[in-house]
Amino acid sequence: MSIKIKTAEDIAGLRIAGRKASELLDYLTPFVKPGVTTGELDKLAHDYTVNVQKAIPACLGYCPPGMTPYPATTCISVNHVVCHGIPGEKKLKAGDIVNIDVTSIVDGYHGDTSRMFIVGKPTIAGQRLVDIAFGTMWAGIDAVRPGGTFNDIGKACQAYADKHGVSVVRDYGGHGIGKGFHEEPHVHHFPINHPTPVFEPGMVFTIEPMVNAGRYHTSMMKDGWTVVTKDRSLSAQWEHMVLVTETGYDILTVSAGTPEPPEFVTGWKKPSFE
Ligand code: MF3
Ligand code: CO
Ligand code: CO
């Protein structure tokens, strides 16, 4: 029971893996259009990861205790799907809101990131939820500083979500990450009532809040992976890997296509990729 403090070598490896995962999302972006199937997007992701990036798709065959092996490279979660949507025959249509979550292993280190995409012309409700989910993730990220605690992430995410009238999913959270895919700690995106660990420089974890337009409750589909909102309301999620530094934090899942943070963020600036 302990959170690993990463070495400089670990951090360098995680930064490369995080960048590759982010570059995979950059690569997929122009293919997210009306008519494409989620299975076709997954095949593109698989082939790019393996053949171009020479990386390992971490989700493919991933099998936590008591689960069946995950059958794809990506998780693609459309509209009321909260997370872990299995790619397949489903065709995307204009107005859909889509999370693509990718995890790649590069030289033994995991890079895990996700973004939202809107297919064709956005709906008002879809655009709004996607934007609020982005703000919720960044509110959580911008609360990270050495000496603070993990509960600061939950408080910041929940406050942002409350302010914008959406709910925060409680059944799934972020996680430590390194040579392991899901390391300690579990990162709650809502405040909890027992003590949480103190942030220390060298900790690396994901922040990946799922927010719902309706209530926070989720249900599991019969396939054993696909998580949906219980009330079938829209759900959205973004994910970054965060490193605690001596003075604040850094983002490890960055590439040219990474969206700029919202204006309220004070702790991070996107580097240039010229
Ligand atoms: N990438 C997801 C996360 O953010 C985990 C997906 S596990 C899978 O933690 F097996 F569903 F792919
Ligand atoms: Co993750
Ligand atoms: Co992920």
**What are the tens digits of pLDDT across the range 163-183?**
999 999 999 999 999 999 999
Q: Rounded to a whole number, what is the distance in angstroms from the first to the last CA of the chain?
A: 42
Q: How far is the CA of 100 from the centre of ligand 3 (A)?
A: 8
Asked whether 197 and 152 are in contact (CB, 8 A), the reply is no
The CA-atom distances, in angstroms, between 262 and each of 23, 138, 187, 268, 269 are: 21, 7, 22, 10, 10
Ligand whose nearest atom lies closest to the CA of 57: 1
Asked whether 55 and 105 are in contact (CB, 8 A), the reply is yes
Q: Where are the beta strands (DSSP E) in the chain?
A: 56-57, 74-78, 81-83, 97-106, 109-118, 167-168, 174-176, 183-187, 204-207, 210-212, 218-220, 227-229, 235-237, 240-244, 249-251
Is the distance from the beta carbon of residue 70 to the nearest atom of ligand 1 less than 6 Å?
yes
Is the distance from the beta carbon of residue 75 to the nearest atom of ligand 1 less than 6 Å?
yes
What's the pLDDT score for residue 267? 96
Alpha-carbon distance of 205 to 184, in angstroms, equals 8
Alpha-carbon distance of 115 to 79, in angstroms, equals 13
- Please list the ranges in the chain whose pLDDT falls under 50: none
Asked whether 206 and 112 are in contact (CB, 8 A), the reply is yes
Report which protein residue has its CA nearest ligand 1's atom 11: 84
Asked whether 199 and 153 are in contact (CB, 8 A), the reply is no
Q: Write down the pTM of the prediction.
A: 0.99
Q: How far is the CA of 84 from the centre of ligand 2 (A)?
A: 11
What's the pLDDT score for residue 1? 65
Q: How far is the CA of 101 from the centre of ligand 3 (A)?
A: 5
In 3D space, the residue among 207, 270, 260, 250 whose CA is nearest the CA of residue 11 turns out to be 250
Is the distance from the beta carbon of residue 240 to the nearest atom of ligand 1 less than 6 Å?
no
Atom of ligand 1 nearest to the CA of 84: 11
Atom of ligand 1 nearest to the CA of 101: 1
Atom of ligand 1 nearest to the CA of 102: 1
Is the distance from the beta carbon of residue 28 to the nearest atom of ligand 1 less than 6 Å?
no
Alpha-carbon distance of 3 to 245, in angstroms, equals 15
* Ramachandran sector of residue 224 (left: φ over 0; alpha: ψ -120 to 50; beta: rest): left
Report which protein residue has its CA nearest ligand 1's atom 4: 112
Alpha-carbon distance of 96 to 147, in angstroms, equals 41
What's the pLDDT score for residue 274? 79
State whether residue 247 is helix, strand or coil. coil
Report which protein residue has its CA nearest ligand 1's atom 7: 59
